[in-house]
Structure 1
Amino acid sequence: MPERRSRKDAARNRKAVLEAADALFARCESPEDVTMAAVAAAAGVGKGTLFRAFGDRAGLLRALYEARLEPIREAVETGPPPLGPTTPPRDRVPALLDAVLCFKLDNRRLALALEETGSSSPYRAEHYERWHSLLRAVLEQIPGRTDSDFTAHALLAATRADLVEHLTGEEHVPRERMRAQLADFVTGVLASGPPQGRTAEE
C-alpha cells in the first residue's frame, strides 16, 4: 500500500509540475524567467522532487514539450488527412510543416527554451531528429526527389523557434501571413528539382 501511495503521489506531483511550468511559460517574457525554483514554487513541491522526476531543466522542458505535442503526434501517426499517413506526399509535406509552425507559434517561449538546450545545437535535440526523419521519409516518396535529407533540413529551418520568435516578436508578422509565406516557400521547394544534368551522387 505505501508503494502504491508513493506512485500516486509521484504521478500527482508530475502533473502539478507540468501544469505549473505550462502556466509559467504561457505568461513569461523570456524563457530564462522559468527556472526550476519558480516551477517548484508554483507547483507546491520541493526542488528535490522536481530534479528527481525530471533530472534537470532540459528534462522538464522535454517532458512539457512532449505532453503538448502528443495530439499532433497522434494525428501524424494514425490520423486522417492532411497530417495522417494516407495523405499524398506532396500534400502531406506542407501540412506537416504548417503543423510545426502553428505548434511553435502557440508555444513560442517553450519551443525557444527547448531549442536552446540542444547541446549548443537545436539539430541535436530529439524532437528535431524525429521531425527530420519523418519529413525525409515523406519527401522520399515524391518521384524525382534526390535530396530528401538536405531538403528536410532546409524546410525545418523555416520553422526554427528563434526565427518564429523574431518574425512574431520583432517584425510583428501576423500568424496567417506567416503560415501563407511558409506554404508558398514549401510549394516552391517541392516544385523545384535537382539542377539539370546532376544527380544525388555527384
Structure 2
Amino acid sequence: MRTRRELPIIGQPQPERADAARNRQKIIAVAARMLAECGAERLSLDEVARAACVGVGTVYRRFGDRAGLAYALIDEQERRFQEAFLSGPPPIGPGAPPIERVTAFLHALVDRVVEQHDLFRLLELGSPKGRFGGPYGVHHTHVAALLAQVCPEHARFLADALLAPVNAHLIRFQREERGMTVAEIKAGFDVLVRGLLAR
C-alpha cells in the first residue's frame, strides 16, 4: 500500500540519517567560516567540500548550488524570524492592525538583510526559482495575507512591490553609495506602505 508523502512544514526540520546530519553540520560550519574569511563572492562548493573533508558530490546533492548553501546558512535565524511574525508579540506578530504588522515586518526584514548581507546577496544571485522560493515565498504569503485585509484585489502584487526593495544589493548601494542609514531606509518603507495603501 502506497503511503502519503509528508510535505515540509515551515520551521520543522526534515528527518536525516545521523551520518547525513553530521556531514550537513560539518559542511555548514566550514561554509560559515569560509564566508567570514573570504566573503560571498569567493565561496565555492568545491572548496567547501575539500575543507569539510567530504565528497564534492555530497555537497552538491545536499545543497544543489551556492544559493542552496546560503539557505542552509541563514536557516536558524529564518526560523526565529518566522516564529516572530507568525506567533510573536505585536506589532510584528498577531494582535496589531495589518498595516502596522506589515511595517514592522519590513523593518525586521531590513535588519535581517543587513545582518546577513553576504548570504542574502548569494540568494539573489541564484536562479529565479531559488530566489523567489524558500524564505521569499513564506514572506510573500505572509505579507499578501495581511494586505488582503486592506486591499484584497491587489494583495499579491503589492506584496511583491513591498518586498522588492528589500534587496541586499540595493540596500548595500543605498548605504555605501548614497550614504543612507538603516533608519532612513526603514523610514522610506514607512512612506511606501502608506502611499501604496492610501484608500
Q: What's the TM-score, normalizing by structure 1?
A: 0.78
- Cα distance, 1:13 vs structure 2: 1.8
Identify the range of structure 1 (99-108 vs 159-168) with the bigger mean alpha-carbon deviation: 159-168
Task: Give runs of ≥4 in structure 1 deviating > 6 Å.
Answer: none
- 1:114 CA drift (Å): 0.6
**Which has the greater radius of gyration?**
1
Determine if the alignment matches structure 1 residue 24 to structure 2 residue 34: yes
Query: 1:114 aligns to what?
Result: 123
Q: CA separation in 1, counterparts of 2:175 and 2:169?
A: 10
Following TM superposition, by how much is the alpha carbon of 1:22 offset from its aligned partner in structure 2, in angstroms?
A: 2.4
- Where do 1:1-202 residues align within 5 Å? 7-29=17-39, 31-119=40-128, 122=131, 124-142=132-150, 146-190=153-197, 192-193=198-199
Q: Where does the alignment leave 5 or more consecutive residues of structure 1 unmatched?
A: 1-5, 194-202
Question: What percent identity do the matched residue pairs reach?
Answer: 35
CA RMSD, aligned part only?
2.5
| C-alpha deviation, 1:125, in angstroms | 3.0
Does the CA-based 8 Å contact 2:123-2:130 persist in structure 1? no
Per-residue CA deviations over 1:93-137 (Å, capped at 9, x if unaligned) read 101111211111111111111121133884x43332221121111
Aligned-partner Cα distance in 1 for 2:188–2:75? 27
Following the alignment from structure 1 to structure 2, what is the Cα–Cα distance between the partners of residues 128 and 26?
24
Preserved CA contact (<8 Å) 1:26 1:107: no
What do residues 54-82 of structure 1 show as CA deviations (whole Å, max 9, x unaligned)? 23333222222333311101112221112
Asked if the contact 1:28–1:109 (Cα under 8 Å) also holds between the matched residues in 2, the reply is: no
Task: Tell me the alpha carbon deviations over residues 31-56 of structure 1, each in whole angstroms, 9 at most, x when there is no partner.
Answer: 33111023224434332332232233
CA gap 1:175/1:24 in 2 versus in 1, 3 angstroms: farther
2:178 counterpart letter in structure 1: E
Please give the alpha-carbon distance, in whole angstroms, between the structure 1 residues aligned to 2:81 and 2:53.
30
